[in-house]
Each structure stands twice: as C-alpha cells, then as structure tokens.
Structure 1
Amino acid sequence: MQLGIQIPSFTWPGAPAATGATFRRIAVEAEQAGLASLWVMDHFFQIRGVGAAEEDMLEGWSALAFAAGATERIKLGTMVTGVTYRYPGLLVKTATTLDVLSGGRAYFGIGAAWNDQEHDGLGVPFPPLAERFERLEETLQLALQMWRDDDSPFEGRHYRLARPLNHPQPVTRPHPPILVGGSGEKKTLRLVASYAQGCNIFEMAGVDVVRHKLEVLQQHCAEQGRDYAEIEKTTLGTLRLGDGGAEGEQSVEQAVDRFEQLAAIGVDQAIVNVPGVSEPGVFDRFAELARRLEPVTPAGR
C-alpha cells in the first residue's frame, strides 16, 4: 500500500517571500520519506472548511511544475482540477507539459468543480451541475483523443476544437493516469469506470462508506465491461503523526492499523493532508510509516 500527501494550505511562516523555499523543502522531504505522490488543490481562493478565502492559495499546475523541478521520483497531481477553470485543450496541454518535464510523473486529476465563490470572484462561468458533468465527460473524451495523437476535429455539445494537436506527447504511455475526484454514485463513479485509472474518496466518511463506494464503482465497471482491478483506489484524509499522546495525533503503529483497514477493502493509496506540514521535522516518522505500509497488499491485488 502506498501513502501520498496533499497540500491544502499555503499559509506558512514568512509567506509569501519564503513560500517557495518552504514548498520545495516539503516536496523534497516527502519524497525522501518514501511517499508515492504529492497533490495540491486546484483552487484560486482558499476553500470553505480549510480557511478564509483571503488566505494564501497557489495556482495548482504551476505549483506542481515547481515541485517537479525539486524532485525526481514522487508523482504529482491536482486534487482536483475543476473542469470549468480552463479550456479543455489547454488543460490537456498543461498536464502533458508537466508529464514531459517531470519525466512521466503526472496525474490528471479532474472533477466537475463546485466552488461558486471563486468562479464569481474571478469572472469564471459557473454552469449548472448537470452541464458541468457534461463538460467533464467531454473533457475526458478530448484528453484521451489528444493523448492518442489524434488531431482530427472534436465536436462536442460544449466544446468544438478544429485541430486538437498535442506535441510532444506525454512520457507516460498511453497517457498520464486520469483520476476523477468525488464519490457521487450515479455520475462521478460512472465516469471513473468509463474513463479513469484512479478514483478518490473521502476517508473521513468512514471505512464502511468507503467500502460501499468501491462496491458501487465495481458495479459500474461490471456493467461497462471494465476491469475493476485496473483502477487505483485512493482515499483522502488527515494524519497528524507523532507518539499518539496528543489529541488527534496517531503513532506509527496506530496509523499502520488505520491504513491496513483501508487496504483490506481494496484501497491502494491513502492520501493525507498533514497539519503543521511546514514545520521542520514533520516528516521524521513518515519514512517508518511508508516502510511499514510497503508490504501491505490491498485486497484484489
């Protein structure tokens, strides 16, 4: 089983002058600790539930490109890009560029978008939910076409591209793995089964809920003739790693038990955000945790 980290906040000491150096150190230390992936939210305002809109937020794909230059092995992704934020052809080009410059380490994390506050604030159109899902599916279709090196015209309901040329092609073949974020049972998980190589489910919902969502995904795969085992199952949670004595803190042993329970229902990678991630030494115990999780085989593997 693998462990990844998500960075949901950039409100760090010395910001913004020290933000670059802090983010670089986090990326390097996460890689050195054996974490499999590094994720950033793709938002322009800080989101409700994490902080005030005015708190620091970096643009996701630029931040990942910066992290790529500081690292060598860790995979990089947005958790996740809202389909409304960028024209889809340009988004695919952006993701391809990250994959090429990182030597094949990019994920293509994408979802239907939800934060009306930043859309309104920055003048980005925010269509109704049903239309956003239509646009998401067209974007997935277009991405796969562009990654096949097929530049024939794309004619969708919402997007029309005369020549979706994409050179260079990504280093990752056949393409960077697509991760569709969200756990909606009728639309989102159906799109995962149809187009994606990864899904992401909120761990905070509990093991039983995660198990149910994976069962729904398995049903969609069966209906579409898709091999369920091809899809990387990931969760998103929070981990404060220490000696287990403080409130909300877990020891390595407790964290191993927690993630073994997820592996037992088929989760391949647990992605966590880490309170105090900018503090020196925060990754001291993560190397041991990653080593302990490495021999844990998720169910179905």
Structure 2
Amino acid sequence: ETTYEGKYYQLSRANCDPKPLQHPRPPIWIGGGGEQLTLRVVAQYADYSNFGGTPEEFARKREILKGHCAAVGRDEASIVKTWSPEILIRSTEAELRAGQALSIRGEPFEQWRDSNLVGTPDEVEAKVREYIALGCGGFVPWCVDYPTFDTLDAFGKIAASVRRDFPAQA
C-alpha cells in the first residue's frame, strides 16, 4: 500500500496486487466458464477459477470442472472457485428496480437479480451463503453503484457476517 502526492498524480493507499514477489510464483487466475476449453485449461493450470451465473449454473460449471480435473489427474478441491457478480444492495424493492439502469449488461430485472447479488442486505447475505455452500471460495464483486460506496459498505458488513463460512485459504 502506498500514498503519493505529486504534481500531476496523487495516490491514496493504492494497492499493488498481486504482490511483486510471491513464492513459488504468483497465483494463476483464469476467468470464464467455457465448458470445453476454459474449464479444461483451469483444470490444468489455475490456482483460482472465476465464473459467473446463477447458483444452478455455478454448480454445473463446478461439476464440469471436476470432470476436467479427473481427466488430468488433479484434485478439483485444489482450485479455489470464485464468482464474479454485479452487486447492488438496497433497502427496498423500489430502490433495487431503480438501480437496474446501473446494470453492466442491461438484462431484464429478474434475470439480472437471479444471476447477480442484487437485493436487500438479507437477500444478498442468503445468496452469498448459498454460493459458499456450493463451494465458492471467494467473490469478485462489481459494485454497479460506484463511485458511491453504499453497496460496498453493505457488502462489507455481509462479508464480515459470513466470513467464518469460508474455507481457510493458504
């Protein structure tokens, strides 16, 4: 983490991730859910896999990944599965529907809600727990209300609440 005040650029608590030196190497992340190629490459090389979708789609992708891992003689549990949803947390249904315009892909509201973390704090926490139960070991959220911090603050509280459910990471 670094802070810098220059003539043209300023940084406040900027992070550099992955860190410059990691042993034996930086972790390999592969994002995408292509069932024939991408997940096969994940099985061969990745430390982390990142894909999206509904809980049912996440579970299906994980089963396909297990098959690819078996084919190359790798334990699927050695790969951390992560999920990359859009996220919007609001107190009321009306606020959520108003926030739909922030969606990156512009899909219909119910589809957007089903495939992402869109809901009240209680709804989002329940969905986070559902993904953890499906084997999700991390979340890479896209806060659609950025640059405000309402969703990020709410998600931080949810993360603190469910953190004990995450498997220990090396």
Q: What is the TM-score normalised by the length of structure 2?
A: 0.71
Q: Distance in 2 between matches of 1:267 and 1:282?
A: 21
1:272 equivalenced with 2:122 (yes/no): no
The secondary structure found in structure 2 opposite 1:234 is strand
Question: What's the offset of the Cα at 1:181?
Answer: 1.5
Report the aligned-residue RMSD: 2.2
- Structure 1 280/233 Cα, relative in aligned 2: closer, same or farther at 3 Å? closer
2:89–2:96 contact (8 Å) kept in structure 1: no
Distance 1:231 1:244, change over 3 A: farther
Higher helix share: 2
Paired residues, what number?
138
How far apart are 1:286 and its partner, in Å? 2.8
Q: Does 1:176 align with 2:26?
A: yes
User: What's the counterpart of residue 233 of structure 1?
Assistant: 81
Amino acid at match of 2:143: V
For residue 40 of structure 2, the aligned residue among 159, 170, 190 is 190
Q: Residue by residue, what CA displacement relative to the aligned partner does 1:139-194 show, whole Å, maximum 9, x if unpaired?
A: xxxxxxxxxxxxxxxxxxxxxxxxxxxxxxxx211111111111111111111111
For the pair 1:221 / 2:55, whether they are aligned, the reply is no
Give secondary structure in 2 for the equivalent of 1:243.
Answer: coil
Query: Are the equivalent residues in 1 in contact too, given 2:43–2:74 (CA < 8 A)?
Result: yes
Deviation at 1:199, TM superposition (A): 0.9
- State the identity as a percent: 26
SS at match of 1:209: helix
Q: CA deviation at 1:272?
A: 1.3
Is residue 2:132 matched to residue 1:283? no
CA 1:236–1:283 in 2, change beyond 3 Å: closer, same or farther? closer
> Which segments of 5 or more consecutive residues in structure 2 lack a partner in the other structure?
1-8, 98-117
Q: Is the 8 A contact 2:87 2:151 kept in 1?
A: no
Task: Output the amino acid matched with 2:137.
Answer: D
Letter in 2 for 1:247: L
**Cα distance, 1:283 vs. partner?**
3.1
1:68 maps to which of 15, 21, 25:
15
SS in 2 for 1:290: helix
Mapped pair 1:247 → 2:116: no
Structure 1: state its 5+ residue gaps.
1-19, 29-66, 70-75, 77-97, 101-170
Secondary structure in 2 matching 1:183: coil
